[in-house]
């Protein structure tokens, strides 16, 4: 597995990370503990060194699983986790008060069975707490050796600049994919200017870009609350997957691999974190790091995607209100 540095911070990670949330948290279809830990081990054996979790995933249980599963490999992996949700639940609200950040960090350290957190993100920007106070608190935690690097998630360019002035931001985690290219307008240029890495979550469009979603989702599926995943919008947005599938077939790769290879080709400081519960999908994702897209192929993908208008918001209303703008 190739390695990448997240901006100018010096933090080096595998080109493709692993989003751990779905291992035991999504859709009632998570793996049992033994199988989840085995998949984490298989990811490490295949070169993945970058693992993403959060106290809100579960809540709490995902950190416990990741901590136990990666304990044998702790010195060889980068573990990222997050603070910022009230009672570890986005549905309850946001809370990034300094005392909360400290309490959450201490609790996360215990659940992750580690003495330090490699990358600590603010999960969502709290409008009630100055970002300077947030950055200052994480700076103190870094000086104390409990945290190594500071990250933000779904933050605006304005917020990124304010935080970066207090404590250098190593990475911004935001949704970015061929299903959601809005970060290209302002966020990506800001990251490049400041030397901050990009960690795209949902790089496969929450599974949509793999082509396996083509009809109404099961009632238990958590994506049902997302406007882009209504039955009507799935049908309308399939034109994107069909167009990308045609390009992928010409290269003899899957549509998902095309989507990941496209992301990796955008900037050398981008490290996507797709998640999966299946070994064959993990291997398929990892194989995308060896796919080289030519300038002509990238131009064709851009032309194709730019000619398609996608429908539906990417978050339900209560989560849209938490986005920093």
Q: Which CATH number is 3-205+266-291 given?
A: 3.20.20.100
pTM confidence score: 0.97
pLDDT for the residue numbered 131: 98
Name the catalytic one among 57, 121, 149, 176. 57
Distant-in-sequence, close-in-space partners of 174: CB < 8 Å, separation ≥ 6? 153, 154, 155, 183, 187, 198, 199, 200, 201
- Annotation says 57 is catalytic: yes
d(C-alpha 96, C-alpha 163), whole Å: 13
Distant-in-sequence, close-in-space partners of 258: CB < 8 Å, separation ≥ 6? 244, 247, 248, 251, 288, 291, 293, 301
Distant-in-sequence, close-in-space partners of 315: CB < 8 Å, separation ≥ 6? 226, 227, 323
Where exactly are the structural domains of the chain?
3-205+266-291
- pLDDT truncated to tens, each residue of the chain (325 aa)? 999 999 999 999 999 999 999 998 765 568 999 999 999 999 999 999 999 999 999 999 999 999 999 999 999 999 999 999 999 999 999 999 999 999 999 999 999 999 999 999 999 999 999 999 999 999 999 999 999 999 999 999 999 999 999 999 999 999 999 999 999 999 999 999 999 999 999 999 999 999 999 888 888 788 888 999 999 999 999 999 999 999 999 999 999 999 999 999 999 999 999 999 999 999 999 999 999 999 999 999 999 999 999 999 999 988 888 899 9
Among all chains, which residue has been given the structure tokens 């070169």? Answer: 47
pLDDT for the residue numbered 27: 58
d(C-alpha 319, C-alpha 226), whole Å: 10
pLDDT for the residue numbered 219: 80
d(C-alpha 299, C-alpha 296), whole Å: 5
Q: What is the 3-state secondary structure (H, E, C) of 243-266?
A: HHHHHHHHHCCCHHHHHHHHHHHH
pLDDT for the residue numbered 30: 81
């Amino acid at each position: 597995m190739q390695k990448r540095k997240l901006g100018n911070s010096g933090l080096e990670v595998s080109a493709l990370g692993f989003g751990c949330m779905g291992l035991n948290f999504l859709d009632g279809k998570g793996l049992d503990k033994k199988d989840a830990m085995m998949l984490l081990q298989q990811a490490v054996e295949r070169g993945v060194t970058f693992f993403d979790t959060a106290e809100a995933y579960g809540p709490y249980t995902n950190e416990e699983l990741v901590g136990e599963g990666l304990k044998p490999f702790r010195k060889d992996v980068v573990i990222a986790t997050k603070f910022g949700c009230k009672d570890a639940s986005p549905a309850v609200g946001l809370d990034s008060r300094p005392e909360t950040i400290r309490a959450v960090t201490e609790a996360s350290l215990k659940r992750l069975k580690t003495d330090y957190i490699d990358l600590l993100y603010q999960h969502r920007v709290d409008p009630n707490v100055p970002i300077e106070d947030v950055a200052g608190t994480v700076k103190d935690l870094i000086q104390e050796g409990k945290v190594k690097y500071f990250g933000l998630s779904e933050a605006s360019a304005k917020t990124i600049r304010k935080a970066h002035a207090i404590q250098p931001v190593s990475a911004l985690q935001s949704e970015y994919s061929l299903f959601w290219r809005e970060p290209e307008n302002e966020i990506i240029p800001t990251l490049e200017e400041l030397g901050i890495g990009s960690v795209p979550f949902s790089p496969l469009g929450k599974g949509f870009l793999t082509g396996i979603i083509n009809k109404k989702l099961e009632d238990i599926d958590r994506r049902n609350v997302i406007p882009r995943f209504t039955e009507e919008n799935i049908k309308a947005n399939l034109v994107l997957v069909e167009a990308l599938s045609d390009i992928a077939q010409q290269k003899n790769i899957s549509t998902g691999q095309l989507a990941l290879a496209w992301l990796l080709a955008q900037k050398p400081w981008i490290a996507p974190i797709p998640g999966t519960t299946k070994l064959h999908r993990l291997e398929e994702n990892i194989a995308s790091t060896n796919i080289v897209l030519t300038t002509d192929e990238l131009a064709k993908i851009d032309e194709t995607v730019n000619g398609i208008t996608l429908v539906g918001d990417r978050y339900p209303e209560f989560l849209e209100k938490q986005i920093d703008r």
